[in-house]
Amino acid sequence: MQTAEQQTTLEQQPMEVSPYLYTSYSIARDLAKNAIWYEQEGICNWQGAGVEVIGGRYQVATRTFGTDLYSGLAGIALFLAEVSVRVPDPVIHETLGGAVKNILKQTKAKPSPSLFGVHSGRLGTGYALLKIGGLMKNEDWKKAGLEMIKKLNKEKIGDHEIDIISGAAGAIPVLLKIHEQEKDSTLLDLAKKCADFLLSKADRGETSWSWQTIPDNQGLTGYSHGTAGIAAAFLELYAKTENAEYWNAAMMAFQYEREHFVPQQNNWPDLRKGINAAPNTKQQHVCGEMWCHGAPGIALSRLRAYQLTGRSDFLQEAQLALDTTYRSVTNSLMNPSNANFSLCHGLAGNADILMTGGMILNNPSYIQTAQQVGIVGSELYEKTGTDWPSGVNDPTGMTQGMEPTPGLMLGSSGTGFFYLRLAFPNEIENILMIN
C-alpha cells in the first residue's frame, strides 16, 4: 500500500523532539511498515503472537487481530492516532485510516460477543473510535463509536462481565468519562446499570465484599480481575451520584484487600487457584508485581481513591504499593534484557504506574525511575532495531515467550503509549487508569 516515495518520507521524517517521542514515533513507523493491507477494501491488520487454544490446550501462535482494545485493532489505532496528531506523517495517517475501516467492517459483519468489557468488548472498541475521532477531527468515527456504546443500554450484562478487563467494573469509569464529555444522560444511566449489576454479584461477607471473577475461585485481590478495580469503579460513581450504596460497596471491597494484605512483602497475594498452592513455594504467599495482579495495579486504585476522598488511609496504602512497585522496577533495571516491555505485566506498565504516582504525590524519584526505564528501553531496542519484547507468555512453559505482537496491553502499541506518556505526561492519559 505504501509507495517508495511515502516510505522515504517516513524514514526521513525530521524529529526535533524529545527522545521519548522519537521512540514512540519509531514504534508507530514500524507498525505502519508491518501492516498487512487488503487493498481492494482499503483496510489493514497485523500479525503477531497471541495465546490460542490449539489441540485442546493454550499455546502461543501467530495470528491476526479483532477489534478489541486489549490486543486488537482498537488499541493499535488509538496509539497511531495519538502519535499522528503530534508527528504528522502520511503513512502513519493512512495506516490509521485502514485500521479504523477494518474496525468498522468487523463490528458490522460480526460484532464481538463481549459487550461491556472496556478491554475485551464493544464498549472499549466504541470508546477507542470516539477518542480517535476526536483526535483526528473525524465526526463519522466519533458518531460510530458513540452509537456503539449507547446501543449497550438495551443489552443484558452477562453473568461473567464483572471485572476491569472484561466487565462492568471497567465500564463504569469509561462511561462516566464519556458522559462528562457528551452530557448524555444515557451514559450515566448505563454506568448505574453496571454498578447495580455489580451489587447483585457481590459475595457479601460480614466485614468485606468480593466478586468471583474467575469460575470456581475465591474473590481476587488486584486491579484487573480483583476488588481493587471494582472498588475504584464504585468510588468513581459515588463521586458523581453520592449514592451511599456505591460508597459502601467501595469500602467493603477495599476492606477485602486489607484483610489479605501481606505486611512482610508490602503486597497483596495472588489468590488464583494454583498460584499459592505450589508445593515448592518458599513463601507462604505469592504476590504479583504487575498491573493485573499485585501492588502496581493496586497502587492505581488507591491513588485514585486518595484523589477522590483525600483520606490518609488511601494515601498510606498507595505509598506502600508504590514502594513495592519501585522496588520491582529497580530490580528489573539491574537486568532489563530479561524483562518484557508490555503495559499489562511488564516493565513499561510498572514504570508508567510509578510516573503516575510521582505526579500525584509529587515524588521526583518515581518519575526519574520511569524516565530511566525509557532510556534503557530505547538503548536496548529502538536504537538497535531489535523487536520489543512483548507480554505474550507461553502457558506451556516450553519457550521464553515475549514474541513480538502489536497490541496495546501486551505489545508494541502499549510500549509506544508509555513513551508518549514520558514525552507528554500532562497530555496523554494513563491508559491503565481510564477515568
| Distance between CA atoms of residues 148 and 21, nearest Å | 32
% of the chain exceeding 90 in pLDDT = 84
**pLDDT for residue 50 is more than 90:** no
* Strand 36-38 versus strand 57-63 pairing type: unpaired
pLDDT range class, residue 200, cuts 50, 70, 90: very high
Q: What is the pTM of this model?
A: 0.93
pLDDT at 394: 66
Q: pLDDT for 150-178, tens place per residue?
A: 999 999 999 999 999 999 999 999 999 99
Instruction: Centre a 10 Å sphere on the Cβ of residue 421 and count the other Cβ atoms it contains.
Output: 26
Q: How far is CA 179 from the centre of its chain?
A: 20
pLDDT range class, residue 106, cuts 50, 70, 90: very high
**SS3 of residue 334 by DSSP:** coil
pLDDT range class, residue 9, cuts 50, 70, 90: very low
DSSP-assigned letter for residue 269:
B
Q: Are 193 and 157 in contact (CB under 8 A)?
A: yes
pLDDT at 15: 46
pLDDT at 17: 64
H/E run at residue 48:
strand 48-54
Q: pLDDT for 226-250, tens place per residue?
A: 999 999 999 999 999 999 999 999 9
Average pLDDT over residues 320-341: 96
**pLDDT for residue 427 is more than 80:** yes
| Distance between CA atoms of residues 392 and 389, nearest Å | 9
How many angstroms separate the Cα of 9 from the Cα of each of 13, 46, 97, 148?
6, 22, 18, 36
**pLDDT for residue 188 is more than 70:** yes
Write out the three cell numbers for 267: 503486597
| Cα torsion 25, 30, 33, 37: sign | negative
